[in-house]
Amino acid sequence: MDTADKYPTILYIHGGPKTSFGDAFMFEFQLLANNGFAVLYMNPRGSDGYSEEFADIRRNYGKRDYQDLLEGISYALQNFNFIDPNRLGVAGGSYGGFMTNWIIGHTKLFKAAITDRSIANWVTFFSTSDIGREFTLDQIGSDPWGEPAKLAEQSPISYLKDVDTPTLIIHSQEDYRCWLGEALQLYTSLKYLGKQAKLVIFPHENHDLSRSGKPKHRVIRLEHYLNWFNNYLKP
């Protein structure tokens, strides 16, 4: 990479949240890099690999983890002069999709976003996900009848009026972990509010599309990634 040039850069957020990026080969990262994008990834609060205290963001989604991600971007901008601060993108799947949805409602820093198999609304997630009841109670601390304001406060859909980032929404039709309704209400809400958004639904696929989906669908998914970021992050 020629450090005399500035490159569009993608902040890529892992799922979980209690998982972590390591040093294993990540094809998606290499594909983005081969197409002229720098890729920034990190293990923010909520990730595995440090301590149980570090990994515990229950009842605090979108708070310290969000700050860690923005601080990571700030550090990278200060230390890597090949990053173009005016051409930043953000992407992630599952919890990474949740955080992408959260980020676009809380900062204008990113010029393009891709949210994959995401959570938009904890109220609907509670009653549609295969782990919705247990996971929502454990991670957010309430059901829709106990403290509904808490679920709304930690739901990205509550902040969509503030979104300026063009957003591509990718979802599988048979995703039982994060039900298709999460993508539908995110897309409908963004379009209703006059935002730039596109929805891509993959039939006969589930939450593991990017890892074990049909090869043709995995190729098409990555083509959508490249097309979206090329369109909004390259001159």
Is this prediction's pTM over 0.95? yes
Question: CATH second-level architecture of 7-233?
Answer: 3-Layer(aba) Sandwich (3.40)
Query: How many Å apart are CA 92 and CA 63, to the nearest integer?
Result: 17
Q: Can 74 be counted among the known catalytic residues?
A: no
Whether residue 3 has pLDDT greater than 90: no
Which residue in 94, 155, 172, 189 is the catalytic one? 94
pLDDT per position as a tens digit, 108-159: 999 999 999 999 999 999 999 999 999 999 999 999 999 999 999 999 999 9
Q: Can 207 be counted among the known catalytic residues?
A: yes
The stretch 29-53 carries a mean pLDDT of: 97
Whether residue 2 has pLDDT greater than 70: no
| Cα–Cα nearest to 164, from 90, 69, 98, 67 | 90
Query: How many Å apart are CA 164 and CA 105, to the nearest integer?
Result: 8
Tell me the Cα Rg of the chain: 17
Confidence of residue 235 (pLDDT cuts 50, 70, 90): confident
DSSP state at residue 115: E
Give the pLDDT of residue 131: 97
Which residue in 47, 189, 207, 210 is the catalytic one? 207
